[in-house]
Amino acid sequence: MCGRTCLTLNPKEIQSCCKYKITPESKPKSPEYRNEFNCGRKYEPSYNIAPTDLSPVLVSAAHFDEQKDSAERTLVPMMWSMIPRWHKGDYKKHGLTTNNCRLESLAMSKLFGPSFNAGQRCIILCEGFYEWQTTKALKASDRPAFFVHMPQNEKVRMDDKTTWNLKDDGINLLKMAGLFDMWEDENGDKLYSYTVITFESNEKFSPIHHRLPAILDTEADITAWLDYKRVGANRALNMLKPSEAIEWYPVSSLVNNSRNKSSECNKQIEPGQSQSTTPKSKLMQSWLIVKKRKFDDDPK
C-alpha cells in the first residue's frame, strides 16, 4: 500500500525533473504545468503528503487539449484519494477509501474501472514514499517506518537537499502508476483526484510490506502508461510489475502524524537510534525551559 509521500520541489523544479522527448530525435522539453482547477486549492510542497492533500501528477496532454498528441505530457495538481464522479455534496464525505486501488480488481471495479477503461492513467510524482513494516507482530504505533526512493547519483542524499543539483540533472523522482478522475461541485468547479495502483510485493520488498505501489522504472514504461491512445488498457495493465530498483532507509516515527510536515520526516535514522524518538518542537522546548526556570526559582 501507499499512505504517505514526500515532494518538496516547487512546480518549476518538478518540470525540470520531468523533461522528456516526444521522439528519440527531438529535443528534451518540460511538461506544461496547469493549475487552474481544484476549487481554489493549490499544491504545497511537503515532506509528509497524506491522502486529501494535493500533489502534481503527470498525464497525457490530450486529456486537457484534444489538439495535443497523446504522447505529450502535462503536470496537473490533483487531490490524493479519488472522488467518485457521481458523489453529491461535500467531496470529503463520500465515505470510501480510495487513496489506493488494487491492480488485481481495478478493471472490473465499479469505482475505478470507468477511469481505467477511459484511459485516465496518470503518474504520481514524489521524492519517495513512506512505508511501515507490517510483516512483524507489532502494534501499529510500534511499526518501524521507512522512506522508499529511487537510486540517485552517488553524491545525492535524499534527506539532504544541499546535495541535489536541480539546475543540471535534477533528481530521479519516484513515479507511481495511478488513475485519475474529475468531479464537479454544485457550481461546476472541477476537482481532479487520483488513486495509486498497488499489487503484491516482490521478494525484495516483502520483508517490509506485502503490498507495493506500481512503480515505473524506465522512460519506455512512463511513455506507454501515459499514451492511452497508442497503448490500450490491457497492454498497459500487463506491463506493470514490481520494481527491483527501489531503495529505502529507516526514518523517525515523526512521520506517523500527517500534521508533521518538517524536514525531519525523511531524515535517515542512524544505526542503533530508536525510531520512536522524535525531535521536540521549538514550542515544547521553550515550554520546558520556562517550566524548569519556575521550578529552580521556587523558594519551596
Distance of alpha carbon 138 from alpha carbon 225, whole angstroms: 37
Closest CA to 204 of 131, 271, 270, 141: 131
Burial annotation 250-285 (CB, 10 A radius, 16+ → b, else e) = bbbbbbbeeebbeebbbbbbeeeeebeebeeeeeee
DSSP lists the bridge partners of residue 74 as 32, 59
Pairing of β 73-80 and β 190-200: parallel
SS3 257: coil
Q: What are the φ and ψ backbone dihedral angles of 224, each rounded to 5 degrees?
A: -65, -40
For the annotated catalytic residues, the residue numbers are 2, 131
CA dihedral of 134, 108, 192, 78, whole degrees rounded to 10: 30
Q: In the structure grid, which three cell numbers stand for residue 111, read together?
A: 469505482
